[in-house]
């Protein structure tokens, strides 16, 4: 590492809160699936901003949409209408099959919005007694970092020192539909779940799980809330992960890739009945639904469809899983995932995935550990077959 990189890291650490532990590389430029550090070295991005960079770095269509709209009108607040938001609404409803959209900025805000909607629906529509609503979640979940969201995390490190925590949540095992059926009670208003647990280690539920939970929720008059902030918009080989099983939710949470890696854009998309609980003043955001966000979101959805990125993720994901399995690494306990969201699970006796991510960095790959023993592989959906093979070859050097 050069003196310049060391100086940048030192300045960052001197004044920034120490709430992250980055890998020792200082990035300065990105194009497509590649990024460069301040020393001129090139890396293939296998993290893609936790799926926010699904379209790669500095995609010219997204950059053009951002620049054009920024020069015209960036923010109005929702005190007024703007001419870009209707198209984003129309595109999201057409793509999801759900008729109403509430725009926000970050994935965590989308989750908080859905929790508010579910509770109010429980009181005003289902008839649950005031202040008694219960929302079911899954162990090993990750839905964000706000006080309410960490209140139902099963990771103690996310909760420690931040109490008092928000009540009204109960966790059940992920992938166990029978556990959901047993847990539902008279005050249960919603079940919040990731179709694939991302931060939890790329955990894929058993086949048919989402179909079963959708049926259980419908039968019990409980809302199904799917958090597709990481899995949505092509990542798993379909536009939305729930489409693999046709398990349509009452509320769908989107973010990350919706902003194209350029701008924070999120949305809650839902049914008329649930979204209808909100009236003027019930919920809002100064930046949510601003014209700049809408322009970028529309451009991102254009790219998703124009370049058939969901199908690309399906084909290349199958190739990635097959090639990783063929490595037959003695260090690997399991390879799991769907589309271009894959976890390489290392054997627990190795002491964690971080040292291997550092070795991959030296090979020109940007990866990050998740859930201690798992290397997350989630490249931009625009990656080519040749680039993917190049990455797997280097993974083989480190893991075999």
Active site residue 256: yes
Confidence of residue 2 (pLDDT cuts 50, 70, 90): confident
For residue 69, the model assigns a pLDDT of 98
For residue range 154-170, what is the model confidence (pLDDT) as tens digits? 999 999 999 999 999 99
For residue range 170-210, what is the model confidence (pLDDT) as tens digits? 999 999 999 999 999 999 999 999 999 999 999 999 999 99
Active site residue 162: no
Q: Which of 45, 176, 227, 373 is catalytic?
A: 227
The domains of the chain, with CATH numbers, are 3-58+308-399 (3.90.1150.10), 61-306 (3.40.640.10)
Provide the mean pLDDT of the chain. 97
Active site residue 142: yes
**What's the burial of 322, exposed, middle or buried (CB within 10 Å: 0-12/13-18/19+)?**
exposed
3-state secondary structure at position 57: strand
For residue range 87-120, what is the model confidence (pLDDT) as tens digits? 999 999 999 999 999 999 999 999 999 999 999 9
Question: Please, where are the H alpha helices in the chain?
Answer: 3-15, 60-70, 85-96, 107-121, 147-151, 156-159, 177-183, 209-220, 272-275, 291-306, 309-327, 354-362, 385-399
Q: Bridge-partner residues for 224, per DSSP? A: 191
For residue range 117-156, what is the model confidence (pLDDT) as tens digits? 999 999 999 999 999 999 999 999 999 999 999 999 999 9
Residue 171 and residue 173: Cα distance in Å, rounded?
7
- Terminal-residue alpha carbon distance, the chain: 26
Q: Name the token pair of 342.
A: 């894959």
For residue range 260-286, what is the model confidence (pLDDT) as tens digits? 999 999 999 999 999 999 999 999 999
For residue 49, pLDDT over 80 is answered with yes
Q: Which of 256, 278, 368, 373 is catalytic?
A: 256
Q: Which of 55, 142, 240, 287 is catalytic?
A: 142
For residue 234, pLDDT over 90 is answered with yes
For residue 1, pLDDT over 80 is answered with no
3-state secondary structure at position 21: coil
For residue 313, pLDDT over 80 is answered with yes
For residue 48, the model assigns a pLDDT of 98
Residue 290 and residue 280: Cα distance in Å, rounded?
17
């Amino acid at each position: 590492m050069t003196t310049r990189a060391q100086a940048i890291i030192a300045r960052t650490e001197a004044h920034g809160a120490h709430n992250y532990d980055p890998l020792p590389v200082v990035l300065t430029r990105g194009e497509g699936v590649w990024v460069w550090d301040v020393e001129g070295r090139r890396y293939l991005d296998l993290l893609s901003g936790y799926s926010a960079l699904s379209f790669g770095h500095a995609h010219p269509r997204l950059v053009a949409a951002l620049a054009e709209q920024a020069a015209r009108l960036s923010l109005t607040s929702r005190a007024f209408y703007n001419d870009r938001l209707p198209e984003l609404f129309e595109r999201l409803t057409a793509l999801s099959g759900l008729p109403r959209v509430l725009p926000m900025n970050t994935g965590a805000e989308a989750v908080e919005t859905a929790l508010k909607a579910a509770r109010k629906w429980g009181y005003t529509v289902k008839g649950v007694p005031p202040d008694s609503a219960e929302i079911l979640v899954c162990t090993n979940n990750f839905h964000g970092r706000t006080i309410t969201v960490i209140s139902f995390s099963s990771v103690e490190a996310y909760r420690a020192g931040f109490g008092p925590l928000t009540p009204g949540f109960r966790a059940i095992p992920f992938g166990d539909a029978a556990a959901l059926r047993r847990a539902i009670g008279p005050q249960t208003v919603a079940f919040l779940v990731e179709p694939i647990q991302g931060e939890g280690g790329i955990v894929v539920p058993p086949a048919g799980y989402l179909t079963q939970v959708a049926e259980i929720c419908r039968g019990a008059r409980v809302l199904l809330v799917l958090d597709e902030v990481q899995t949505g918009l092509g990542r798993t080989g379909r536009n939305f992960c729930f489409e693999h099983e046709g398990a349509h939710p009452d509320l769908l949470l989107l973010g990350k890739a919706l902003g194209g890696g350029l701008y924070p854009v999120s949305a809650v998309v839902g049914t008329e009945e649930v979204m209808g609980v909100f009236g003027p003043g019930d919920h809002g955001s100064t930046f949510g639904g601003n014209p700049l966000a809408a322009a970028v979101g529309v451009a991102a959805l254009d790219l998703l469809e124009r370049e058939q990125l969901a199908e690309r993720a399906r084909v290349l994901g199958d190739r990635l899983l097959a090639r990783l399995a063929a490595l037959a690494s003695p260090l690997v306990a399991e390879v799991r995932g769907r589309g271009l969201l894959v976890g390489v699970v290392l054997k627990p006796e190795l002491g964690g995935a971080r040292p291997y991510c550092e070795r991959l960095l030296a090979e020109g790959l940007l990866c990050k550990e998740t859930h201690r023993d798992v290397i997350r592989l989630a490249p931009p959906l625009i990656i080519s077959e040749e680039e993917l093979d190049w990455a797997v070859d280097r993974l083989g050097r480190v893991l075999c």
